[in-house]
Amino acid sequence: MITSATNPRLKRIRHLQSVRWRRKLGLFAVEGEDLVAAGLAAGLEAVDLLRASEDVEADLLAAVSTLPHPAREIAVFRSGDLPVLQGEGVGVALWHVADPGNVGTLLRAADAFGPAFVALADGCADPTGPKALRASAGAIFRVPICRFDEAPGQKVALVARGGTPLAEIELSQRVAFVLGAEREGLPKAVLERCDVLATIPQTGAAESLNVAMAGTIALYERGRR
């Protein structure tokens, strides 16, 4: 039973709240029974697993938790054990999507309408950060993640306006929907590398869709066909 806040296992969990330490150690921490169970069910081996009142005093575990209601379980997993791109031919490629909630939500959408991958450019939120993990609802353990330039297949850039309506575009068997951050969108250099520009028509007054919503609609449209 851990009874000291200076315990090395607790210190490591605190360190893993920082992306710098996650990259340095090749580890990430998962909070909550459901997420921990999802990781174990996916076949990942926990580097460490702490349960409140069993392995550590409950108030000490609560002190290292990032949740509004402190987790009763926290596990540490290896980043290198997460799924890698294999035969998946459908997915989303994200350019500078810095909001961790959007990255996690798109992982969840890829899990729902897959098998699908998520490709991340430099400047995207770390998918193993606390907010992205929670938004993914366990999809992080099932959806392959790759680099932006590794996304296979036809490149369909989703733009707020000016593109061909998505429903009218002939989609290949292998396709990556390319999305940018909501404020900046996709730069010209990225658009020039895409095969086609697509727009999701809107009937209301909203200026644009949230990036996670747009990516989810695109994955659904591809799966529907």
Instruction: Please state, in angstroms and as integers, the Cα–Cα distance from residue 185 to each residue in 56, 91, 144, 173, following that order.
Output: 46, 18, 24, 26
How far is 78 from 107, CA to CA, in rounded Å? 18
- The CA distance from 190 to 213, in Å, is 21
Element (H, E) at 165: strand 164-165
| CATH of range 8-81; options 1.10.530.10, 3.30.1330.30, 3.40.190.10, 3.40.50.300 | 3.30.1330.30
In this prediction, residue 181 has a pLDDT band, given cuts at 50, 70 and 90, of: confident
pLDDT in tens, 130-149: 999 999 999 999 999 999 99
User: Confidence class of residue 196 from pLDDT cuts 50, 70 and 90?
Assistant: very high
- Reported as a single tens digit per residue, the pLDDT across 64-123 is 999 988 889 999 999 999 999 988 789 999 999 999 999 999 999 999 998 999 999 999
- Write the CA distances from 151 to 59, 80, 84, integer angstroms: 44, 19, 12
**Where do the structural domains in the chain lie, given as residue ranges?**
8-81, 90-224
Q: What is the pLDDT of residue 183?
A: 74
pTM reported for the whole predicted model: 0.94
Domain covering 90-224: architecture: 3-Layer(aba) Sandwich (3.40)
Please list, in sequence order, all residues whose beta carbon lies within 8 angstroms of the beta carbon of residue 177, skipping any fewer than 6 positions away. 91, 92, 93, 156, 158, 198, 215, 218, 219, 222
215 DSSP 8-state letter:
H
Residue-wise pLDDT tens digits, 31-73: 999 999 999 999 999 999 999 999 999 999 999 999 988 889 9
Going from the C-alpha of 106 to that of each of 34, 57, 119, 187, 216, the distances in angstroms are: 19, 35, 10, 21, 7
For 54, other C-beta atoms within 10 Å of its C-beta total: 12
